[in-house]
Amino acid sequence: MANSPEGRLSVSMVEVADGQEAAFLTIAREFSVIMAKKNYGRTDIVRDESTANMFYAVRHWASASAAEACHADAEVGALTSRLYRIAKVTHLVNGVRRASAAGPLADDRRTRGSESDRRSGFDRRRADLGRPTGERRKGDRRLGPRRLRGRTGGIDLIAAARRARENADARFSNFKVGAALEAVDGSVIAGCNVENATYGLTICAERVAMFKAISEGHRAFTRIAIVADTPTPTPPCGACRQILWEFGGNLEVVLANLMREEARHQLKTLLPLPFDGRLLR
């Protein structure tokens, strides 16, 4: 894939904070200059005309090695730090992936669990891989990779879930749900419920978000927000709790409606006796 034109294309959605559009465009211009000057490739910035302060960053890599060099570039790292202070970035297309320890570098360096950990249900964040209790670290949680440690402000995960809810296809129940899953690198992957005339094929928003995240290469997560238009919190169903545990471990679960946050739980309290890979050994 890395040697084909399609394999060298990466796309990210950038949601810029209010009042920071000029700063973002300045960063984008500086990044374009570095890309061209150092022969990494080129980048295009496309404005989403339907949503204020939303842009798409399209990177056309010269090669897999150029992408790797760009990710290791100190100038690029400084620009990335500035970007993450004023914008939320969601990776949509990852055109250059690491095939092996010496292979092409993944576009956003997502953390991956080992194959033996795939079904463990443990918290898979970078410093906790394979913890026997499935518990999160105490203190300094949800910081993820180093590039997020100096970031000001937080990710509005509930807002992302509310936006996702608007896309729900709930033609039979009229009960729309949105979910937004946060990966350790700060990426936000959203999902909505999609219903089917064969009711058993209906899929919940939480599972849509998780399956999208897995398909895009994410393997480590910190929390998920779930939004429904109800006066009381709407927790994930049993099937979703199992899937979230299977791939996310002891996530933080944030429940909200269209007006406010209602509750927070650790997944282990919602699924106290989970079935996972430890029982298959």
Q: For the chain, what are the domain ranges?
A: 6-93, 157-280
Nearest by Cα to 209 from 254, 259, 274: 254
Tell me the helices (H) and strands (E) count for the chain, helix number first: 7, 9
Show the tokens assigned to 134: 């499935």
CATH code for the part of the protein at 6-93: 3.30.70.100
Cβ atoms of 14 and 58 closer than 8 Å? no
CA angle centred on 276, ends 188 and 262, rounded to 5°: 45
pLDDT tens sequence for the chain (281 residues): 334 344 478 888 898 998 898 999 999 999 999 999 999 999 989 887 667 788 888 888 898 888 888 988 888 988 888 998 899 888 777 666 443 333 323 343 333 333 333 333 333 333 333 333 333 333 333 333 333 333 444 679 999 999 999 999 999 999 999 999 999 888 999 999 999 999 999 999 999 999 999 999 998 999 999 999 999 889 999 999 999 999 999 999 999 999 999 899 999 999 999 888 778 87
Query: H-type helices in the chain, by residue range?
Result: 21-37, 64-72, 74-86, 157-165, 205-215, 238-248, 267-270
Strand ranges across the sheet with 252-256 = 188-192, 177-183, 221-228, 252-256, 261-266
Q: Is the pTM of this model over 0.85?
A: no
β-bridge partners, 55: 14, 47
Helical residues (DSSP H) of 223-265, grouped into ranges: 238-248
- Catalytic hit among 206, 216, 261, 262: 206
Q: Domain 157-280 has what CATH class?
A: alpha beta
| Residue 20 main-chain phi, psi, to 5 deg | -110, 15
Extract the tokens encoding 17.
């904070």
Supply the pLDDT for residue 81. Answer: 86
Other C-beta atoms lying within 10 Å of the C-beta of residue 13 = 18
Q: Note the pLDDT of residue 93.
A: 73
What pLDDT sits at residue 245? 94
**How many other CB atoms are found less than 10 A from the CB of residue 131?**
17
DSSP character for 277?
G
- Report the greatest alpha carbon distance in the chain: 55
- pLDDT of amino acid 144: 33
Specify the amino acid at residue 80: T
User: Is 206 considered catalytic here?
Assistant: yes
Residue 135 pLDDT: 37
Collapsing DSSP states into helix, strand and coil, what is residue 34? helix
